[in-house]
Amino acid sequence: MGDKGLVLLVEDERPIADLVRLYLTRDGFGVHVEYDGAAGLAAARKLRPVACVLDIALPGMEGTEICRRLRQEGDWTPVVFLTARGDEVDRILGLELGGDDYLTKPFSPRELVARLRALLRRAAGPGDEHRVRTAGPVVLDPARRVATVSDVPLALTTTEFDLLGHLLGRPGRVFTREELLAAVWGYASHAGTRTVDVHVAQVRAKLGSAAGLIRTVRGVGYTADA
């Protein structure tokens, strides 16, 4: 295992898998590769990687189904999807099922490594922002990576947690979608704002009765009420 932990890569196109493994290994990650969906799910359950990189179109079981099953089991390991499909529906479905990020083929292996590094830095916790944030029944503890509504823990992905934390960090401040992409994902120029909309919808669904905490400001973006 590399110094930065083990990444599970599930990709049936072997040239792509070999190239991604090379770049991840060079960056200090250990890499375990599977080439079909069922084997990928079994490896995720057994190896407990620090992150999963899942192709969507896999033989036997799609990457979205792997993610769905892991989330159902309470496994919130960060997931990045790879897809060659041009249909936005596939990418949106992946995010709705608990994915943290996605890349569309063809992609730069360097960009994938950079995305993983950023995602894992966020998952490890904040640098100097340890302040517990509260808004109504919602309490978010960045240091412990725990969010609750009326003392009931929320099952949030890494990206959902960071999105909620960013909004709660400055209650009343209206953030544009581009600002949220830059602050939470870190690559505003490489993603569509639809990604933000999907994640906000997911966070609202998980907040339940407190969903109204996050408001849409038409034509601008989103804000969180104090």
Query: Domains in the chain and their CATH numbers?
Result: 6-124 (3.40.50.2300), 133-224 (1.10.10.10)
Please tell me the predicted confidence (pLDDT) of residue 90.
72
Residue 3 has phi, psi (to 5 degrees) of -60, -30
Please tell me the predicted confidence (pLDDT) of residue 18.
96
Please tell me the predicted confidence (pLDDT) of residue 110.
93
What's the chain look like in SS3?
CCCCCEEEEECCCHHHHHHHHHHHHHCCCEEEEECCHHHHHHHHHHHCCCEEEEECCCCCCCHHHHHHHHHHCCCCCCEEEEECCCCHHHHHHHHHCCCCEEEECCCCHHHHHHHHHHHHHHHHCCCCCCCCEEECCEEEECCCCEEEECCEECCCCHHHHHHHHHHHHCCCCCEEHHHHHHHHHCCHHHCCCHHHHHHHHHHHHHHHHHHHHEEEECCCEEEECC
Please tell me the predicted confidence (pLDDT) of residue 127.
47
Please tell me the predicted confidence (pLDDT) of residue 183.
82
Give the residues of the chain that fall short of pLDDT 70: 1-3, 85-89, 124-130, 187-192
